[in-house]
Chains A and B, each alone.
Chain A
Amino acid sequence: MVKYIASVDQGTASSRCLIFDSAARVVSVSQKEHHHIFPRPGWVEHDPVEIWNNVLEVVGQALESASLSPSDLVALGITNQRETTVLWDRETGEPVHNAINWQDTRTDRLVRELGGEAGQDRFKERCGLPLATYFSGPKIRWLLDSLPGVRERAQAGEVLFGTMDSWLIWNLTGRHVTDPTNASRTMLMSLETLDWDQELLDAFGVPRAMLPEIRSSSEVYGEAAKLGGVPVASALGDQSAALFGQTCFGSGDAKCTYGTGSFLLMNTGEQRVQSAHGLLTTVGYKIGDQPATYALEGSIAVTGALVQWFRDNLELIASAPEIETLARSVEDNGGCYFVPAFSGLFAPHWRSDARGVIAGLTAYITKGHLARAVLEATAWQTREVVDAMNGDAAVALTSLRVDGGMTANNLLMQFLADVLDVPVVRPIVAETPSLGAAYAAGLAVGFWPDMDSLRANWHRAAEWLPTMEPAIREKAFRKWNKAVARAHDWVDDDDAD
């Protein structure tokens, strides 16, 4: 009997379920968006119960549209938006607050206080991350500080914390667990021991009793009662799952996922590389009892989000893909550069005082040039991260594996190959996070024998080769760097007033 594997991708905008066959081909897809709640400027929340219901619904729909039942599944894997934080009541299973999304900046002040004299790198050696609003630790602390009685109940183990993987596994199986890729985004886990770190817990004021047990990324956590008892067998943060789905199993293998933001991860093997160039050290994956594989991560805050902004706020295009049509209406950017530092700059700059800049404007510039500058911003930001990786890692990048929605943009992919001066390759399954979670779950239940067998499933769907003259590339990069310098140091102390 033919068996399948289901993969849930609980993302920022929607929850999806993909069902794969043993050749890693997609046989069914289902997706449902959830609401974003914006209580105040800078605050972003989800309703965890809505998300849980959506997950059950999309799994049901994906099974139905492929005429399958839960008994046709050998396992269910989970990949999820990282850092988003849920606290819930152990007795009732009810959330005690909306989930605080990773984009939420309410912990801005708290993060500065936590850094104190030592600054944002206070905990970097231990957990691999700089202090930022982005990560879960400060969000937990904010909830404990802000919700009356919750700290006491958390100390007693009556209120539990989880990232979205934990929340879903809890609801599916009743177990309170997470994996190292998700736990490595809390700032509370030691990268060395892969366990919660008492010093970090003390510094953040987070009681250990509320935290999930850190298991591996690939093992049977339990059975999903509401889905016919199918084993829940993997959990990976979306970017780690994409690294795994791209079969970047060798040290030096790298992928970049282009979504709202973009994330370049390079496998560094069993070595934890401390970056001297503003990259994060994170867990790539941990398969069962094998040692963890680490990764260097370059996070770019605004890439696809800039295209959305161009569409929604400037209304120069009706849909995101139309930006390519508009950009192709001109030959080049006309000397115009767009640095989308809407909420500061992430890697490798980590400048929260930066704000967006459009540089090089002249009377000559049209909306077509702006469209070019918008797309090129994604490529240049990738170039900065790749340069940082090459500075930190032993080997220079020789090709870049890409995935995510923006890989449908041929103009961008060609420009990316041009400015990186390496081939850019898109694999045949664009849904690499889902595929990665399916792979990890499949390994746990023996659906696939080993990682080598997964490599055989990876196929090139498209490839863009660099064609740009070096002199043109270097001049354009110089201009980009000048534009970035102009974005720095914009926010003043009294701007928040």
Chain B
Amino acid sequence: MGVVELAGQLGLPKATVHGILRTLRDVGFVEQDPESGKYQLGAALLHMGSSYLDGNELRTRALNWSDALASRSNESVRIGTLHEGRVLIVHHVFRPDDSRQALEVGALLPAHATAIGKALLAESPYVMDELAAAGLARFTQATIVDPDQLREQLRDIKDRGWATDLEELVDGEVSYAAVIKDRRGLPVGAIGISGPVERLRKNGEPHTELVSYVREAARAVSRDLGAIPW
């Protein structure tokens, strides 16, 4: 949009609109096309659109539901958010078998090779674009490194509401995740379980019961954050 057009729609003087636009441009909320001089929404606004919820807040709000998910699934639970194109683990519940495990809160994982990452990327196409531009690293034979193939999978993930990583980060390890949304319906993180392929797959198929636990946990946390039940 041009300044004249905006001023007309807002009923404000052109100089005022120009001043506002300059401020918005400085903080990255709008961008000006260098050729046409017209304005469009900026990248910073798009990032804000992915919604920001303090990771510590998310952990606190999700505590009971992530415990319940761990005890129902008998697998370890992680909650992650997107942080500069990677997955930041903000919460980790041990697999409830009393074996030695170490807290992984604060760890950064590749988004394209984890179920949590893919659940979030499916809702954030512009982050996917940034990752594609930077190149997708390979971790195992199963890692998806072709951006188009990944984009196609992300569309499926968005449609069905859950993501999976089939030995794409670590050989022998599978994870499932579903996105957590806030009251505006924006993604704030994803919750998932991970464990050995022998337990998480059934006859080469996803373990539907475990997937349903993950989705229920994501819905429950979303509901607590005020999201409209879906």
Contacts and interface: CB of A to CB of B under 8 A. Distances in A.
Contacts of B55: 325
Contact of A29 (B57, B61, B64, B71): B64
B140 to A, nearest CB: 28
A314 interface: no
* Of B63, B92, B98, most A-chain CB atoms within 10 Å: B63
Given A25-B72, A428-B96, A430-B63, A410 B57 contact: no
B68 interface: yes
* Of A29, A322, A408, most B-chain CB atoms within 10 Å: A408
A321 B59 CA distance: 8
A389 B228 CA distance: 48
A408 B55 CA distance: 11
Interface residues of B, number: 23
B60 A428 contact: no
18 contacts: A26-B68, A26-B71, A319-B54, A320-B60, A321-B56, A321-B60, A322-B57, A405-B60, A407-B63, A408-B59, A408-B60, A409-B56, A409-B60, A410-B105, A430-B64, A431-B64, A460-B98, A461-B94
Contacts of A23: 71
A428 B59 contact: no
A25 B63 contact: no
B146 to A, nearest CB: 37
A463 interface: yes
A461 B68 contact: no
Contacts of B71: 23, 25-26, 428-429, 459
B123 interface: no
Nearest to B105: A410
A187 B63 CA distance: 36
Contacts of A324: 56
Contacts of B94: 428, 459-463
B159 interface: no
A460 B102 CA distance: 11
A461 B96 contact: yes
A253 to B, nearest CB: 16
B67 interface: yes
B93 interface: yes
B87 interface: no
B205 interface: no
Nearest to A429: B67
B56 A428 contact: no
Given A408-B59, A428-B67, A462 B92 contact: yes
A337 B72 CA distance: 42
Contacts of A407: 63
A interface: dominant SS: mixed
Contacts of B70: 428, 461
B93 A428 contact: yes
B103 interface: yes
A405 B57 CA distance: 12
Contacts of B103: 410, 462-464
Interface string B71-95: 1100000000000000000001110
A376 B57 CA distance: 19
A459 B98 CA distance: 6
Contacts of B105: 410
A25 B60 CA distance: 19
B97 interface: yes
Given A409-B60, A410-B103, 13 more contacts: A25-B68, A320-B60, A321-B54, A321-B56, A321-B59, A322-B56, A408-B56, A410-B105, A428-B67, A428-B71, A430-B63, A461-B93, A462-B103
Interface in A286-332: 319-325
A287 B57 CA distance: 39
B52 to A, nearest CB: 11
A219 B97 CA distance: 31
A408 B63 contact: yes
* Of A29, A410, A431, most B-chain CB atoms within 10 Å: A410
Interface string A339-380: 000000000000000000000000000000000000000000
Nearest to B68: A26
* Of A26, A407, A428, most B-chain CB atoms within 10 Å: A428
Contact of A430 (B54, B61, B67): B67
Contacts of B98: 459-460
